[in-house]
Amino acid sequence: MAIKPLFQKHNPVENPVNRVVEIPVAAICPNPAQPRMIFDDYELSQLAVSIRQNGMLQPITVRRLDGAGYELVSGERRLRAAKLINMEHVPCIVINTDNEGSAIFAVLENIQRADLNYIEEALAIKSLIDHFGITQEDCAARLGIAQSTVANKLRLLRLTDEEKTLALRFRLNERQARALLKLPHEKRISAIEKIGSQQLNTMQTDKLICDMLGEKPVERKKHVWAFKQVGLYINTFNKTIESMKNAGIDCVATKNRTDDFMEYIVKIPLK
């Protein structure tokens, strides 16, 4: 009995939009608006091993070019890993979008999947604003995020290149990096080194910076931040379900909400 292939081979005559098809790796060119700048060689090799053993479980996203071939929209790590093991074809979802839509989709997909560090996110958002000549408000609307989020991320670019590099090297989170902006330039490097070497959390970082400025720290309401964190997890969960459906997995998710909790029930077919 012949085994039915998991994905259809792409036939250039047919319209593959919004379908999962296999496209030659050689026919896919990079996305010039790719926001991700750092690719860890070890992580790529591990991903390549996983793809060799289990296949590419989540298709990459591409768009058809006017001339010939396709442009990558999202999934560059998967495409790079596929090239490492000399795959000739990769499963793809072909979407119908223009240059701006492709750039926005690439930034949004990476941000939602937490594939970018906060400096890469800030640079990607600035690139969108500069390249397409749009305002922060327009950019926020296109990405589906708050304008204040866009403004806060762009503020990170006021750090010097050295400060950005050190902040990432010492694993400061986004709030810690943004808090550095309160300090004069001559004190920031010292603050980064203290935060990193002493492994300070966000509240401890705020106190350190206030001490360096000779100010009294402002007390924050913990329950507000906790609520925001829950919202982020719920959004991530919803995106995971959406990605599974886009990949052709016929999963069903139902949710029940009460005053005390949110309950999700997910059914994933095994065949």
How far is 21 from 92, CA to CA, in rounded Å?
5
The question of whether 76 is a catalytic residue gets the answer: yes
Closest CA to 104 of 124, 130, 76: 124
CA-to-CA separations, 83 to 8, 12, 79, 192, in angstroms, rounded: 20, 22, 6, 38
Six-digit token pair at 101?
């839509």
Six-digit token pair at 10?
């792409």
Q: Domain boundaries in the chain?
A: 8-116, 160-213, 224-267
Query: Which helix (H) or strand (E) element contains residue 264?
Result: strand 262-267
pTM for the model stands at: 0.52
Q: Please state the separation of Cα 112 from the chain's center in Å.
A: 5
- Candidate CATH numbers 3.90.1530.10, 3.40.50.2300, 1.10.10.10, 3.90.1150.10; the one for domain 8-116: 3.90.1530.10
pLDDT digit string (tens) for the chain, length 271 residues: 333 344 445 555 455 555 788 999 999 988 776 656 666 787 788 888 988 888 887 888 888 887 778 988 888 888 989 999 999 999 998 888 777 777 777 666 656 555 678 898 888 888 878 877 888 988 888 777 788 989 999 999 999 999 999 999 999 999 999 999 999 999 999 999 999 999 999 999 999 999 999 887 666 555 544 445 566 667 777 777 777 777 777 777 777 766 667 677 888 877 6
How far is 191 from 177, CA to CA, in rounded Å?
10
Question: 238: exposed, middle or buried (C-beta count within 10 Å: 0-12, 13-18, 19+)?
Answer: middle
Report the amino acid identity of residue 86.
N
Out of 76, 109, 121, 163, pick the active-site residue: 76
Six-digit token pair at 148?
């204040």
Q: Is residue 45 within 8 Å of 3, Cβ to Cβ?
A: no
Backbone angles phi, psi at 162, to 5 degrees: -65, -40
How far is 42 from 49, CA to CA, in rounded Å?
11
User: Where would I find the H helices in 94-218?
Assistant: 99-112, 118-132, 136-143, 147-155, 161-169, 174-179, 185-197, 202-213
What are residue 222's DSSP bridge partners? Answer: none
